[in-house]
């Protein structure tokens, strides 16, 4: 006979040793934010939808590329591909070098904001 996945009911409202009213044991529980009436952090859905940084390999090196949605684009930047402005409210990419000569932190400090089309159609700098 197949096993039921439904939780067991408490017998006439009584709880067994170590069991709560719902029939679950209290051992091994971990506290969650907001589980005991504390403040629940607000979820930023726009940030979750904006995407994660991805690694791209090209003849000119290893690059980390993070897409920025139009709603998250708040400032104006100069695109290094076309030397025109990436205006606020325009979806674009943030790109930085993963294999920078002075390390990953220096590559991140030198990140640039590119138009999506400028990044995909850029000319590679062969050495």
Q: Is residue 112 part of a domain?
A: yes
pLDDT score recorded for residue 53: 84
Q: Is residue 11 part of a domain?
A: no
pLDDT score recorded for residue 78: 95
Q: Is residue 6 part of a domain?
A: no
Q: State residue 114 phi and psi, 5-degree precision.
A: -115, 145
Tell me the pLDDT tens digit for each residue of 102-126: 888 888 889 999 999 999 998 765 5
The answer, as to whether pTM is greater than 0.85, is: no
pLDDT score recorded for residue 127: 44
Tell me the pLDDT tens digit for each residue of 9-25: 776 655 555 455 555 55
Range of the domain at 78: 45-120
Tell me the pLDDT tens digit for each residue of 29-40: 555 555 566 787
Query: What stretches of 1-127 adopt beta strand conformation (E)?
Result: 54-58, 61-68, 77-78, 85-86, 92-97, 112-114
Total domains in the fold of the chain: 1
Q: Does the pLDDT of residue 48 top 50, yes or no?
A: yes
CB-count exposure of residue 79 (10 Å: 0-12, 13-18, 19+): buried
Dist. CA 52–CA 125, nearest whole Å: 26
Residues in CB range of 91: below 8 A, 6 or more apart:
67, 68, 69, 70, 73, 116
pLDDT score recorded for residue 122: 86
Nearest to 91 by CA among 69, 113, 116: 69
Tell me the pLDDT tens digit for each residue of 53-98: 889 988 888 899 999 989 888 999 999 999 999 999 999 999 998 8
CA torsion, ordered 78, 83, 84, 90, to nearest 10 deg? -50
Q: What is the DSSP letter of 19?
A: B
Q: Is residue 110 part of a domain?
A: yes
Q: Is residue 40 part of a domain?
A: no
Q: Is residue 82 part of a domain?
A: yes
Q: Is residue 12 part of a domain?
A: no
pLDDT score recorded for residue 75: 92
């Amino acid at each position: 006979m197949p096993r039921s996945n439904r939780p067991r009911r408490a017998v006439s409202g009584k709880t067994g040793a170590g069991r709560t009213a719902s029939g679950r044991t209290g051992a091994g529980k971990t506290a969650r934010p907001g589980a005991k009436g504390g403040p629940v952090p607000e979820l930023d859905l726009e940030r979750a939808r904006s995407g994660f940084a991805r690694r791209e390999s090209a003849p000119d090196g290893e690059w980390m590329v993070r897409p920025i949605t139009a709603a998250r684009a708040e400032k104006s930047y100069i695109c290094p591909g076309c030397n025109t402005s990436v205006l606020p409210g325009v979806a674009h990419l943030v790109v930085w070098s993963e294999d920078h000569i002075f390390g990953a932190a220096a590559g991140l400090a030198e990140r640039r904001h590119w138009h999506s089309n400028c990044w995909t159609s850029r000319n590679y700098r062969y050495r």
